[in-house]
Structure 1
Amino acid sequence: MTLSLVCLPFAGSGAGFYRAWKKLEVAGVDVVPLQLPGREERFIDPPHSDVATAALELAADAMRLTKDKEHVALFGHSLGAVLAFETARALLAQGHPTLRALFVSGSPGPWTGRTHRATGLDDDAFLARVNEFAGYRHAAFDDPDMRELLLPLLRADVAMHEDYRPADDRPLDLPVTALRGADDRLVSAADSAQWAAATAGAFTAHEFPGGHMYLTESATALLEFTAGAVAEGR
């Protein structure tokens, strides 16, 4: 069995983050990165301002790339988790024939809004708040030119995440697995377990070593886990 794992970006990131995973060549997994506007090769395109619109575009891309694949799953971290959730809903509504599972990472359940916001803060306070959310600081923001270039995209992504509210309260007819770093101080095990309400099917919670951005160091283990979970039907 080969799993086509469709990967959705977290705030401020692009498909390039997941393209690096393809080089790992993990047996049984074909990584399928999706790109959002406003980054990398789509830098000149205006970024999305709401999750629902972004998910419709992502669903169209996912359908085009995977409709002929036998086993398909979605993966998203933080902002990518809610994008993956809404993309999964759109794909199910469109009758994707082989969507098997949803993997959501580093995120509380979709009905938990953020009260500690970064949107509206000045640049320095905004970056400090985002660093607090993300648990790390990207070195690019220490370069004044790169900071000026990247801030509008990061602001758009953060606002999209902070303003997100699910349009539909119905759970997905799809197995959902919630992932987190065991030492994540931003998303607790209880937060992650909220995703159980997002599925009418099987729910699993799993932890990897590390903090909020565990996936930067545990990519191989994560990919192996997703392939095994889908093979086992969970």
Structure 2
Amino acid sequence: MTEPGKSVEHGAPTLLCVPFAGAGPSFFHPWRDLAAGRWRVTSVELPGRERRILEEPYRNVQEAAKGVIDDVVADLGEGSRAVLFGHSLGAVLAYELAHLLGARGVRVERLVVSGSPGPWTRRERRASGLEDEEFLARVEEFAGFRHEALDHPEMRELILPVLQADCEMHEDYVPSTDDPLPVPITSLRGAVDGLVTAEEARQWHAATTASFDYVEFPGDHMYLVDAGREVLDAIGAACAGDR
């Protein structure tokens, strides 16, 4: 888990961020300052990356959720309040965590999913199982960019297996339950996302018995790389409507 941010408003909930495929907690470190005290920003730490780089990555979303839930609860604290945010793979993992956290004494105030179709929709075009170069080309096509670290042999050797495992667990994902969450959901999407359509992003409406809203941003599937402040402002506006 990441360290708490500074000058967090008294009684503010935690914003728990769940990384997308191949990413780690450090992606969300700048969000601590951008949050401007509205939340304590923390992240799920999955094996295979950053401080856990030597650990075997998960290949199943439900196993990943169950595997990290104890650490998540320890970080959040029983009886705490949390807003969950996840992009792409992180969206479905956040959805599974939201189902688990209520039973562990954590109040999930809102689930914010980004760049993701509804949890019951399987991706038609896959990257899993392809040879390395074809796999990377497919991932680059999906994401709209290529991580520069993949061009360095040493870094590629570390990153590629994790990216492959993440894609496998995302593309094979089946929800653990058909029961919708009793939690408001906000679905975010880049307006020119070629991987997830607006209709698919709105499918999250069926995943909640509470309120639902949908927000688009300029950009493609990885719009959030340059839109951290705007994403946090959208989350803040949605949460303000819950009060």
Shorter chain as denominator, the TM-score bin is over 0.9
| Structure 1 residues 94-125: Cα deviation after superposition (integer angstroms, max 9, x where no partner) | 332x3201000000011011221111111000
Change (3 A) 1:210 1:3: farther
CA distance in structure 2 between the aligned counterparts of 1:148 and 1:26, rounded to whole angstroms: 37
The answer to whether the aligner puts 1:84 opposite 2:91 as a matched pair is no
Q: Match of 1:75?
A: 85
Give yes or no for contact 1:79–1:161 (8 Å, CA) kept in 2: yes
Percent identity for Structure 1 against Structure 2: 49
1:193-208 superposed matches below 5 A:
193-208=202-217
1:24-173 superposed matches below 5 A:
24-67=34-77, 71-96=81-106, 98-173=107-182
CA RMSD of aligned residues (A): 1.6
Q: Which amino acid is 1:150 matched to?
A: I
Q: Match of 1:181?
A: 190
Deviating 4+ runs (over 3 angstroms): 68-71
Change (3 A) 1:4 1:69: farther
Gaps of 5+ in 2: 1-8
Change (3 A) 1:29 1:224: farther
- Offset of residue 41 of structure 1: 0.5
| Structure 1 residues 52-101: Cα deviation after superposition (integer angstroms, max 9, x where no partner) | 111123332222222367541100000000000000011123332x3201
Gaps of 5+ in 1: none
Q: Match of 2:5?
A: none
Change (3 A) 1:145 1:70: closer
- Offset of residue 25 of structure 1: 4.7
Give yes or no for contact 2:34–2:232 (8 Å, CA) kept in 1: no
Q: Which amino acid is 2:134 matched to?
A: A
Comparing 87-96 and 8-17, the one that deviates more: 87-96
Matched residue count: 233
TM-score (norm 1): 0.94
Q: Match of 2:13?
A: 3
TM-score (norm 2): 0.90
- Offset of residue 229 of structure 1: 1.4
